[in-house]
Amino acid sequence: MAPWGYEKDNGPAHWHKDCPIANGKNQSPIDLINGEVKYDSGLKPLTAKYVPFSDAKFLNNGHSVQFQPSAGNGSELTGGPLAVKYNFEQFHFHWGNNDTEGSEHRVDGKMYPAELHFVHWNSTNPSFKDAVGSGGPNGLAVLGFFLKVGAENAALKPITDLIPKVKDAGTSVTVPSNFDMQAILPATLTDYYTYDGSLTTPPLAECVKWIVFKQPLEVSAAQMEAFRSVINRDGKPMGGNYRPPCPLHDRAVKTSFK
């Protein structure tokens, strides 16, 4: 099979050939249907403590654009549905070629123009790779934020301003050390959906505690256009790098809000 992607000849409908778990019962993303979720008063806010990175890269890996520190620096996530501390690994984006599509999760069938994923791994594992392979839904915790078009996002501007430098697949730049990742997050991480799922790209491992925030973040039209200028390994616009929703099967989606 050609390396996986999002085109007709290598997109999500083909992924099961290399990753049979694609047809598993705990796959992501899903459509978050408000009439079918269940409020859980035990779901408290999350706490993300992100400390500045001295040596982080922003890169185009052919499937997304991704902020990736070279090594852990003590940035961590706790609280909410999480029983232990998770270490920050990377963040990346999924987006569409127009404002009517682009997010991976949907809310009552609605797609947002983009979705931002903050990936964290369970610190009881010796490494990130072990966490991915640890089996069960507690290996990774991924925070999902919908992006909608509105005011310019000042916290994301240092990142979206770097996009022209990573237009081509396989390119990367160093992120200025004064980049404040914490500023991207809302002040309180309260209203979210959470469910047990998977990576939304190969290897599609069912190792993810998904935490998707109800309140979208805003980015400007210019910031959305920056994403749409990114090119994939085939030299085509990367927009459309989202997997369609997967069956829920017998999973429950819980909410921290009524």
Ligand X SMILES: CCN[C@H]1CN(CCOCC)S(=O)(=O)c2sc(S(N)(=O)=O)cc21
Active site (catalytic) residues = 63
**Closest to ligand X by CB, 199 or 219:** 199
79 contacts 44 by C-beta, under 8 angstroms: yes
Q: Where are the alpha helices (DSSP H) in 91-219?
A: 128-132, 157-160
**Closest to ligand X by CB, 196 or 221:** 196
Instruction: Write down the least CB distance from residue 103 to ligand X, Å.
Output: 11
Instruction: Write down the least CB distance from residue 95 to ligand X, Å.
Output: 12
SS3 call for 3: coil
List residues near ligand X by CB under 6 A.
Answer: 61, 63, 89-90, 117, 119, 129, 132, 140, 142, 199-201, 203
Amino acid at 127: S
Tokens found for residue 234:
């085939």
**Closest to ligand X by CB, 150 or 170:** 170
Instruction: Write down the least CB distance from residue 92 to ligand X, Å.
Output: 7
Amino acid at 46: L
Q: Which does 24 bind (CB under 5 to 8 A by kind): Zn ion, ligand X, none?
A: none
Tokens found for residue 248:
């829920």
- Assess 243 for contact with Zn ion (CB under 5 A): no
Kindly tell me the burial class for residue 235, based on how many C-beta atoms sit within 10 Å of its own C-beta (0-12, 13-18, 19 or more): exposed
Using CB under 5 A, which residues numbered 90 to 119 contact Zn ion?
117
Among 171, 150, 149, smallest CA distance to 231 is for 171
Q: Which does 142 bind (CB under 5 to 8 A by kind): Zn ion, ligand X, none?
A: ligand X
Residues of this chain that interact with Zn ion (CB under 5 A) are 117
